[in-house]
Every structure is written in C-alpha cells, then in structure tokens.
C-alpha cells in the first residue's frame, strides 16, 4: 500500500464548492480562510443582505420539511416574503414528471475521496429511483432565491460540476446493492423563485465526467503542492479583492469594496471539525 507523506495526511481537507471557488479565485484567500481559519467576513453585512440571507435559509428549511413529508400550513410561515415564495413553489410542481418509485432525500450530503482529500457536497434535494427500463437515476434539485443565472453560466459553475461529479463517483452509495449509476442518468435542476416558470436542467455524460473529474484531480494536486511548498500566492486579478475580507492582510485596500455574493444554501456543517469555518456570518 502506498503511504502518503505526512504533510498530506496533516492537510487532508474536505473540499466543498465554496472552497474550490475560493482556491481558484485566490490561493492566499484560501489559506487565510480555510487553513489559518481567520474570520470571514471581517465586517458585518448590511442589514438588508442579512435579511435576504435569512429568508433564503428559512425557505430552504421549509422545503426540507415539505420533502420529509411534514405538513406545512401557510399560517405558520411568519415572514411575508417566505410565505409568497412557498405559494409560488406550490403552484409549480417540479417533481410531477418523476417516476412513481422515486425517493426524495432533502438536504442530503455526499463525500467521496479526491486524491489525498475529500470532496463534499450537500444537495437541497436528491431524488433517486429507477427509470422505465429499470436503470437507476439520480435527479438533483437546487432552490435559488437570489438573482436568476443564465443556463450557460450555471453549467460552468463549480456547484454544478461538483454535484454531478459527486454523484457519478459516489452515487451508488444510495442504492442498497451499490448499483452503479451511469453519468447519463444524472441531472441537476436549478429552480429560481424569481423565474419559477423556467427551471434550468443540466444533464451529464461519461465524457463530461472524465473531463470534470480530471480537472478536480488537478486542483487537488495543486493544493497538495501549495501545502508542500507553503506557497499561497496572491491573486493577480484584483477584482477578486473587492469582495474579500482580507485586504488588510495583503495590502490590497486600494481594490475597492463590494458585497460578496452569498448563497443561502452554503453548507454550515462539513463533517470535519478541523475545517469548520463560518461560511456565513
């Protein structure tokens, strides 16, 4: 058996879409945030942003309860905006096309090995079952309460690539006999509450997975190299610094400021205490 060098063992990370995105944006930011675990963001968010974030999180909890089979009564939803989102969701039955044998697994996490690290994702809703030909399928759903995003941009986002790759590599864990699921049987639907009539569904394929997985492996190797050399370069693209809480550490205060784009569904509980940082304030 091949033994991993100590620095790999000591620096085994659980990589989420947010960590990958941060690593690609700026390796120094990644180091400050996830290795040195400095607080993020350094300053409180504007009250309006906080409120929208909270409403988004409340909406996700609501849908989780719904897909767990719990009854939701409108009167118990205190926030008017969340109540309106719930009514919009109810009038757009996204899952009616799925086979009768489909099983609904809300807020489900999946972890698979990636080199010397782990890759982790938590899905708003995972639906699994067998199609008419008896082949296993997996359909992910992701709820978005923020600004709608174009299909082309969604397809290239790390959230999409990571989720599809996770299921292709580790989706068999959801079947009792460990049936292999082919990438062609995996899809991901984004539903934006602001554009409820036009959900975006993205499919997958063996060829796309080979490319996607290869790039993820390369990124893991880059990360190992950064640990081995303890080299975490500052990004050359100063636009990333505008929404970064660490400008003072880098002397990049001249970059200006912007409120970081926040996702109501950022995972707060990655199962590895060493890596836990508050993803959201």
Residues that bind ligand SF4 (CB under 6 A): 26, 28-29, 32, 234-235, 240-241, 244, 246-247, 250, 252
Tell the smallest beta-carbon distance from residue 118 to ligand SF4 (Å).
24
Six-digit token pair at 207? 């060829």
DSSP 229: H
Tell the smallest beta-carbon distance from residue 225 to ligand SF4 (Å).
18
Dihedral (C-alpha) 172, 175, 181, 186: value to the nearest 10 degrees? -100
Q: For residues 196 and 281, which CB has a smaller minimum distance to ligand SF4 in the complex?
A: 281
E strands along 86-135, which residues?
103-114, 117-130
Q: For residues 219 and 241, which CB has a smaller minimum distance to ligand SF4 in the complex?
A: 241
Tell the smallest beta-carbon distance from residue 33 to ligand SF4 (Å).
8
Tell the smallest beta-carbon distance from residue 258 to ligand SF4 (Å).
12
Tell the smallest beta-carbon distance from residue 243 to ligand SF4 (Å).
8
Tell the smallest beta-carbon distance from residue 30 to ligand SF4 (Å).
8
Q: Are 278 and 41 in contact (CB under 8 A)?
A: no
> In terms of Cα–Cα distance, which of 181, 153, 202, 218 is closest to 15?
218
Tell the smallest beta-carbon distance from residue 143 to ligand SF4 (Å).
29
Q: For residues 25 and 112, which CB has a smaller minimum distance to ligand SF4 in the complex?
A: 25
Q: Report the alpha-carbon distance of residue 244 to residue 257 in Å, rounded.
A: 8
Distances (CA, A) of 119 to 9, 79, 86, 161, 240: 15, 35, 32, 12, 24
Distances (CA, A) of 236 to 24, 239, 252: 12, 9, 11
Q: For residues 205 and 235, which CB has a smaller minimum distance to ligand SF4 in the complex?
A: 235
Q: For residues 26 and 53, which CB has a smaller minimum distance to ligand SF4 in the complex?
A: 26
Q: For residues 26 and 181, which CB has a smaller minimum distance to ligand SF4 in the complex?
A: 26
Q: Report the alpha-carbon distance of residue 262 to residue 245 in Å, rounded.
A: 13
E strands along 98-253, which residues?
103-114, 117-130, 136-144, 186-192, 200-203
Q: For residues 32 and 262, which CB has a smaller minimum distance to ligand SF4 in the complex?
A: 32
Q: For residues 24 and 280, which CB has a smaller minimum distance to ligand SF4 in the complex?
A: 24
Q: Report the alpha-carbon distance of residue 68 to residue 103 in Å, rounded.
A: 10
Which H or E run includes 266?
A: none
Tell the smallest beta-carbon distance from residue 255 to ligand SF4 (Å).
7
> Interhelix angle for 158-170 vs 206-229, to 10°?
100
């Amino acid at each position: 058996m091949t033994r991993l060098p100590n620095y790999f063992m000591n620096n085994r990370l659980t990589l989420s879409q947010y960590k990958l995105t941060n690593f690609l944006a700026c390796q120094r930011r990644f180091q400050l945030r996830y290795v040195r675990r400095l607080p993020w963001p350094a300053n409180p968010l504007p009250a309006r942003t906080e409120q929208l974030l909270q409403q988004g999180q409340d909406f996700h909890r609501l849908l989780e309860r719904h897909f767990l089979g719990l009854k939701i009564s409108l009167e118990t939803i205190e926030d008017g905006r969340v109540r309106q989102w719930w009514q919009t969701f109810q009038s757009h039955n996204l899952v009616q096309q799925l086979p009768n044998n489909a099983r609904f697994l809300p807020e489900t996490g999946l972890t698979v090995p990636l080199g010397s690290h782990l890759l982790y994702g938590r899905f708003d809703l995972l639906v699994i079952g067998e199609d008419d030909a008896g082949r296993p399928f997996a359909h992910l759903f992701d709820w978005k309460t923020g600004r709608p995003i174009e299909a082309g941009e969604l397809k290239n986002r790390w959230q999409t690539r990571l989720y599809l790759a996770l299921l292709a590599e580790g989706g068999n864990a959801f079947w009792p006999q460990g049936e292999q699921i082919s990438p062609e049987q995996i899809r991901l639907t984004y539903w934006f509450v602001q554009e409820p009539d036009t959900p975006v569904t993205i499919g997958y394929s063996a060829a796309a997975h080979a490319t996607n997985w290869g790039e993820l492996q390369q990124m893991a190797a880059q990360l190992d190299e950064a640990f081995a050399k303890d080299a975490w370069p500052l990004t050359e693209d100063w636009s990333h610094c505008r929404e970064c809480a660490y400008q003072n550490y880098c002397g990049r205060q001249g970059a200006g400021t912007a409120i970081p784009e926040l996702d109501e569904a950022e995972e707060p509980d990655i199962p590895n205490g060493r890596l836990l940082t508050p993803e959201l304030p």
